Structure 1
Amino acid sequence: MTSVVTAGGVSVTVRGSAVEEGETVLDRLVGDGAPRSLAAGTTTLWGPDAAPLAARRLGWLGLPESARPLARRLAGRAGAARGAGLDRVVLIAVGGPAAAAEVIARSAGAPLTVLDSTDPQRAAAVLAEAPARTLVVVADKAGDSLEVDALRRVAERALWEAGVGDPAARFVVVTDPGTPLEALAADSGYEVEHTDPETGDRFAALDASALVPAALAGVDVTRLLDEAAALLPALAQPYDNPPLVLGAALASSALAGRDKVVLADQGSGLPGLGSWVEQLLSGALGKDGRGVLPVALDDVDDPGFELTPGMRRIVLGSRPDEPGAGREAGASVAGPLGAQFLMWEYAAAIAARVLGVNPFDAPNTAESADSALALLRPEEGAAPTVIVRPPLLAFGAVQVHGPDDLLDGAKELPDVLDALLDAAPDDGYLAVLAYLDRHGDAPVAALRARLASRARRIRRNAVPVTFGWAPQALHGAGQFHKGGPQTGVFLQLTGDTEAELPVPGRPYSLRELQLAQAFGDLRVLRSRGRPAVRLHLTDRAAGIRQLLDALPE
């Protein structure tokens, strides 16, 4: 059985058992008037407790039209920057805006460098490249992000030391009106662009925090808004409404026990879209012990795309039908990027209503940030708390830190990895969080596919494996890890580096901040009873080779 819904340039195709499951939820949503209510910005859709926050978080519905003056202004600003020789744009941001800006730029083939990591090795490499041509965009809606503040300070120092003159002409700050970051920008003489204060980070793909860096990198963001605007008339419709169908499919999957949604690209032409969707769904739906865990794959042929009882497959792009409705159970989505941004945001809001969660809050994300702050002690002006414990096991360049009971009997590195896979319950998953350099240490990302393949060989059931570069991942998947179902097992990767990069005006370096974020998150996970192991690489390159050798293809 196959159902295809098309409108506004996007299409959603639902196949197999997902059709009947989704129709039951869809009928209930239509009967409740949810499509029209959401399109109208009704704040009570997620219950009375969520209404006050929803009243300040529905601005994303109007961005396809309200952001147009900004888009026109940015076209001239981008030309002026290039005319001044500033043709290299570096975005300092985390969470949804960073992921959205990156997929916008990659899809358009525009050169945008995203610095969303506190890894000192990565920051040093980014800031050392062509400082005379660099324009830095600092995007932080709330204006109080620990990572963004540290990276901004380091970037300012790097530009001063590079001898390019006053950094004021090289910084653009993007934030909500009235934030501490706006006040700092005014004192420093930095240009400021305001974001929509009624749009949160998670739903800000078409807001200034993503549009400004993309436009300065040379993207025609008006086209994105046109693509999204074409979908607006469908949002209030009970039928012929692709985002509504997608939201119903997501929610019905979770209600039926398939709370792992595997996202795989198949010719979408939108590189990185899966990563943005991953942070959106994890953060919007993963709370109160419920949610949907997205598993982003590069391709439908990657390990982990096989159909299992606990997962739903969604293809980004088009895919020819395969014989057998059971094998093809799932969905595919296609359409231009601007419309897809709006579609997925709407679908996440609809799914949250069905699951009974507030899509706009992040009750557990702050826990890890608070735990990291407690280790850094910035208000005291003292040196950070250093956690020094001998490793439980050591294999060459890989040190193993974890609980004795989980790793009991492990003699070699493959035993450690097998113990993690064995610890996942039948309905569970393994999350790999790499506090490393996602460019310089990129080969370590192959761990996801190798662990997924290993799970198939040593267990009767497959174990979904996610991979995220931290601390960026904490702002999306991190919410699900702590607030979603208690079925996760966690593997942290940290590593030594010669780079240190002191943070000006703070009593810690980027390396200390990165380790505090890793330790802080680990403490929160373990306090919730989540099995977690940290592998520390005393030599990154050698340690990565050891890990991959322990999991041969």
Structure 2
Amino acid sequence: MDMSVTFGDDAVADEASEAVRGLAEASVPQALSSGDPTLWGPEAEEEARVRLGWLGLPTTSRELLPEIAKLVERARAENLEHVVLAGMGGSSLAPEVICASSDVPLTVLDTTDPGQVRRALDDRLDRTILVVSSKSGSTVETDSHRRIYEKAFRDAGIDPADRIVVVTDPGSPLEQSAIEAGYTVILADPNVGGRYSALTAFGLVPSALAGADIAALLDQAAEVLPSLAGDQDNPGLELGAAIGAAAVAGRDKLLLDDSLSGINGLPDWTEQLVAESTGKQGKGILPVVGTDPTDGGDELVAGIDTEAGVQIDGPLGAQFLVWEYATAVAGRLLGINPFDQPNVAESKENTARILRDAGDGPLPTGAPALVDGPVEVYGTLPEHVKDLSGVLTFLLEDIPERGYLAILAFLDREAAFDVPVPEDASFEEITDVWAAHDAATLQGLLSIRTDRPVTFGWGPRYLHSTGQYHKGGPQNGVFLQITGVVENDLEVPGKSFTLGRLQLAQALGDLDAFGKRGRPAVRLHLTDREAGVRHLLAAAREV
């Protein structure tokens, strides 16, 4: 197995080596590999006892392969070539990485944006197979997607039972309702938390339907598994010691670089795993994806098959398992429970309350503090701030020492690809057009204007990822939220809200959570989405 962790920074190597010695003296590698739930203290023991099933997945998940193979064979026979995955967080991030790295197509719905959902609905519905993935069985976004697709299938004269596959935990409310509806149901291991579920049915079912070789992933993980029980040449121990010791020493911003890797998108999966596992009790490791290092004293650069302070080389299946092991080790070093997510429910509850209290009336958006072209600005601003560039400058200047800026966009993350490009445009010209219409471009523009980390997340996707860190981790974040007008909304059958109304309520619910913590937070509302993004990017260039 060509799986290794190496160090390009002597200080990081020394800290990691010292931490490895301490962990080895405490017999942590042996205890973790045997599933000892006491490693994170008495308060975490009950949770850990039912959350360590991921250690055995390279073996236990093989039992799923014949069932999944039959499902794939049936889909191929029926020419169901458009695979759509409705899932959030741990139910969608791993399949997205697997399929991108395998170069097989998968449409992921981890959004409440009506435009993004409509685009999927309009794409080969007659050849679509929908995978509905939810561990709890009650995820509001995924439940909404299921309801919308059920209606779309019926309206097209298609029996939903022929097109919907459900992946959930045994005993979830989704399992029973799916059985009653006649859907194919594949059960996942209930002793694995969502963010550790890459090698469970949640990761394997949609990936196999899309055409990925899931047996190879399990082979890769199985090959590295024996090394995780030892004190020497244990990549999971070395990585966990490196990121955990660095965080304890103050380098708690983990910059993830995969620029030279053939694995596509692993940092997005790692972001959820590390942020949601460690961001609690005022502690945590903040993964930063998509920006260059600033040489700040609180940064550690981790490279996926890429030279860095700590470099992690190896195939995807092994990477999944090693990062999960490392995150558990880092949790021990930080003194937190890496398996719970105590603050995730807060924004969900805020969203439900906002929808309930508003009834049929407008949502409580308040009045804008200022309007700059197609952008309304909501929040508390200094009197001297008069335009959008001033807002961005204010937020950058408000980032505290050791803090960060998080950009959170409740928009259609694929909208930029709809912008027309000249027929004879080169690839570079096409990507320039896309970037000029993509809200994610804001991250790079603001990153070069500060020496603090700038993160970017699509909402509500980030609520199931970095959302736990924002609320439970160190309270040094500054938040820039972006919402947009909805011109072509989608009804959610059987519910009192539309998809667009849910999207806005989710944004407002998270803003409430920031407000309760006294964190600086501003919401930009685009009254014209395309023009608003262009205007916002132009304002960022003026900062």
TMscore range, shorter length = over 0.9
Cross-structure match for 2:463: 474
Matched, 1:221 2:214: yes
CA distance, structure 2, for counterparts of residue 529 and residue 376 of structure 1: 23
Cross-structure match for 1:402: 379
| Equivalent pair of 1:127/1:155 in contact (CA under 8 Å) | yes
Matched, 1:449 2:444: yes
Cross-structure match for 2:153: 159
1:439-493 CA-to-partner distances (Å, cap 9, x unmatched) read 01471101111110122xxxxxx11000011101111100000000011000000
Give 3-state SS (helix, strand or coil) of 2:17's partner: helix
Task: Summarize the alignment of residues 62-73 of structure 1 with structure 2, pairs less than 5 Å apart.
Answer: 62-73=56-67
CA distance, structure 2, for counterparts of residue 268 and residue 36 of structure 1: 31
Give 3-state SS (helix, strand or coil) of 1:409's partner: coil
CA distance, structure 2, for counterparts of residue 388 and residue 147 of structure 1: 21
Matched, 1:335 2:314: yes
Cross-structure match for 2:298: 310
Give 3-state SS (helix, strand or coil) of 1:231's partner: helix
Cross-structure match for 1:5: none
C-alpha deviation, 1:385, in angstroms: 6.0
Aligned residues: 521
1:289-322 CA-to-partner distances (Å, cap 9, x unmatched) read 000000012xxxxx53232211111111133xxx
Which one-letter code corresponds to 1:362 in the other structure? Q
CA distance, structure 2, for counterparts of residue 172 and residue 140 of structure 1: 11
Using a 3 Å threshold, how does the CA distance of structure 1 residues 417 and 93 change in structure 2: closer, same or farther? same
Give 3-state SS (helix, strand or coil) of 2:489's partner: coil
| Equivalent pair of 1:376/1:385 in contact (CA under 8 Å) | no
C-alpha deviation, 1:384, in angstroms: 6.5
C-alpha deviation, 1:77, in angstroms: 1.7
Cross-structure match for 1:358: 337
CA distance, structure 2, for counterparts of residue 62 and residue 35 of structure 1: 15
CA distance, structure 2, for counterparts of residue 453 and residue 62 of structure 1: 43
Matched, 1:40 2:17: no
Q: TM-score, normalised by structure 2?
A: 0.94
CA distance, structure 1, for counterparts of residue 486 and residue 179 of structure 2: 35
1:28-69 CA-to-partner distances (Å, cap 9, x unmatched) read 111111111000000000111111111111111111110012
Cross-structure match for 1:13: 6
| Equivalent pair of 1:81/1:87 in contact (CA under 8 Å) | yes
1:222-251 CA-to-partner distances (Å, cap 9, x unmatched) read 000000000110111011101100000111
Which one-letter code corresponds to 1:415 in the other structure? G
C-alpha deviation, 1:164, in angstroms: 3.8
Stretch deviating more after TM superposition (526-535 or 381-390): 381-390
| Equivalent pair of 1:9/1:339 in contact (CA under 8 Å) | no
| Equivalent pair of 2:90/2:198 in contact (CA under 8 Å) | yes
1:158-194 CA-to-partner distances (Å, cap 9, x unmatched) read 2222x14211100000001111001110111111000
Which one-letter code corresponds to 1:358 in the other structure? N
C-alpha deviation, 1:382, in angstroms: 4.2
| Pick aligned residue for 1:293 from 286, 291, 307 | 286
| Equivalent pair of 1:35/1:237 in contact (CA under 8 Å) | yes
| Pick aligned residue for 1:262 from 250, 255, 267 | 255
CA distance, structure 2, for counterparts of residue 91 and residue 435 of structure 1: 19
Q: CA RMSD in A?
A: 1.4
| Equivalent pair of 2:378/2:524 in contact (CA under 8 Å) | yes
Matched, 1:390 2:367: yes
| Equivalent pair of 2:358/2:364 in contact (CA under 8 Å) | no
CA distance, structure 1, for counterparts of residue 404 and residue 150 of structure 2: 40
Q: Percent identity?
A: 48
CA distance, structure 1, for counterparts of residue 488 and residue 288 of structure 2: 32
| Equivalent pair of 1:375/1:385 in contact (CA under 8 Å) | no
C-alpha deviation, 1:388, in angstroms: 3.6
Give 3-state SS (helix, strand or coil) of 1:295's partner: strand
Stretch deviating more after TM superposition (75-84 or 285-294): 75-84
Which one-letter code corresponds to 2:67 in the other structure? R
Matched, 1:146 2:135: no
Task: Summarize the alignment of residues 413-452 of structure 1 with structure 2, pairs less than 5 Å apart.
Answer: 413-441=388-416, 443-452=438-447
| Equivalent pair of 2:294/2:453 in contact (CA under 8 Å) | no
Using a 3 Å threshold, how does the CA distance of structure 1 residues 384 and 68 change in structure 2: closer, same or farther? farther
Matched, 1:208 2:185: no
